[in-house]
Amino acid sequence: MTNNQVEISVVVPLYNEEPNIDYLFERLLLVLDQMNIGYEIICVNDGSQDHTLKCLIEYHRRHSGIKIVNLSRNFGKEVALTAGIDYAGGAAVIPIDADLQDPPELIEQLVAKWREGYDVVYATRRSRQGESWPKRFTARSFYRTIGWMSPVPIPRDTGDFRLLDRQVVEALKQMPERTRFMKGLFGWAGFKQTSVLFDREPRINGTTTWNYWRLWNFAIDGITSFSFLPLKVWSYIGLVISFLAFLYATFLVIRTLIFGVDLPGYASLMVTVLFLGGIQLITLGIIGEYLGRVYEEVKGRPLYLVRDSYGFDK
């Protein structure tokens, strides 16, 4: 199947997804075959340590539309998704997770909206089944926080599952930044966008690698990539603290002139010193987060390295 015959490219990043592969292709191929369109499935093996790659190669040998990009190591989901988009040759690209929490059956609705003239059709979660209350609460809080902080409109309760027109894909390829928050990049690209609603299903097999620590770091990446507010806010905090310190100093001068010199309180002095020291360390930490990202960018390393690939023309 040549790229000229490919209308839809489905991009699937995989990391240790061996238990899900059979069910993934069973549902995905059924949906795509029923749609009667030219398609390819770009599977990106993100340095899996189980038999994910072996299973993918077996499916590729049975179905030429399944293509594989095998990265040299684990680069993370955002980079693996970028690699899949880079290799996709379809007129539209649809990223989807291998755990099937995003239903492949929704692809037909995404394509229908695309044919109506929309460049980006994203799938918005109406409900999140099989997830704990803390997970749902933190997810909602993150989307609302970054929506408030970022000048770029980022849809709430929306993951990577969406359809991207070829024009949008080419625009994304012009964004080589190393700290990749794909949901923000999709929003930054703009174009004509709409959404469809769906109920997110529980994970079929295996356990997610997205623990709370990784989700926290993911949130930090998203905020620092698309908002300067954490840097700006400390300027205002510094002004407020300086103003309060000036008022307190004025009060001390007046009190000394009226009542004379008394012994200053050790406790209040220590509290003030420790408070200001903590503020300074927090400020330096935030500056360090942004500086670290600048350091990553200036090194100019490639986003990913491909060990081998299957199904692509040389």
Q: Rounded mean pLDDT of 161-166?
A: 87
Q: Which of 127, 295, 291, 149 is nearest to 219 (CA)?
A: 149
- Cβ-based burial of 309 (10 A; exposed 0-12, middle 13-18, buried ≥19): middle
Query: For residue 1, what pLDDT is reported?
Result: 39
Residues 240-299 have pLDDT tens digits of: 777 777 677 677 667 766 766 555 665 566 567 767 777 777 777 777 777 777 777 777
The answer, yes or no, to whether residue 228 has pLDDT greater than 50, is yes
Residues 85-129 have pLDDT tens digits of: 888 888 888 898 888 778 888 888 888 888 888 888 888 877 666
Q: Which residues contact 30 (CB under 8 A, 6 or more apart)?
A: none
Share above pLDDT 70 across residues of the chain, in percent, rounded to a whole number? 72
Lowest mean pLDDT among 39-48, 118-127, 165-174, 233-242: 233-242
Give φ, ψ of 123 to 5 degrees: -95, 115
Query: For residue 252, what pLDDT is reported?
Result: 66
pTM more than 0.85: no
